[in-house]
Amino acid sequence: MRSDREVYTMRPLLLAVLLLALAGCRQPSKRPQELAQCHVASRTPQELVHCLAIERNWPADSANAEGLRVQAANDSAVNDSMTRVAREFNVYADTMMKLILRLGRLYNQCLGAGGDTCENPDMIGRVERLSREREALIDSCSQLHSQGCIDALDSDTAHFTPSKRKVGRPTAR
């Protein structure tokens, strides 16, 4: 049989073992479920951070990290979308330039044949409209800081002078 002294010295050890056993039996974290609920209820990363920090009582740094992760995913999707729009514009511009050149050749053939009813295709006006559309798209890419979008517009498939624009980081105001 053990003495009272031995039992007394083993008490802290037994208590530590019991606490470790209880800690291992705790319920799983509710965080993934809370994150999913807040994600569904939020339209913006700021609303997500508010939901997590205020309504679900998450630590501010954890809630902010989730908000930044969602914002980065949103920014990436927007940049990918703008790059796709730029590539589609290149296909459109290529097709339009071919049509404009074809109209010019037909107009010249009509004039060469002495035709009195030749319709002027206004080639310069059409090219200028395409150029304005391209510049507007480049401005949109620059505002979103999407270098991939600008690079797509300046690719070999574009029939315009390269923009020489580079997207930089936004400056603090």
Q: What is the 3-state secondary structure (H, E, C) of 94-105?
A: HHHHHHHHHHHH
Burial class (CB in 10 A: 0-12, 13-18, 19+), 7: exposed
- Give the pLDDT confidence of 4-30 residue by residue, as tens digits: 666 566 677 667 776 666 555 545 578
- Give the pLDDT confidence of 80-119 residue by residue, as tens digits: 999 899 989 988 988 988 888 888 888 888 888 887 777 7
Task: State if pTM tops 0.85.
Answer: no
- Asked if 124 and 147 touch (Cβ cutoff 8 Å), the reply is no
Would you state the pLDDT for residue 65? 92
- Give the pLDDT confidence of 44-61 residue by residue, as tens digits: 999 999 999 999 999 999
Can you count the helices (H) and strands (E) in the chain?
Answer: 6, 0
- Asked if 163 and 153 touch (Cβ cutoff 8 Å), the reply is yes
Would you state the pLDDT for residue 168? 47
- Smallest Cα–Cα separation from 71: which of 37, 40, 48? 48
Tokens matching residue 124: 């310069």
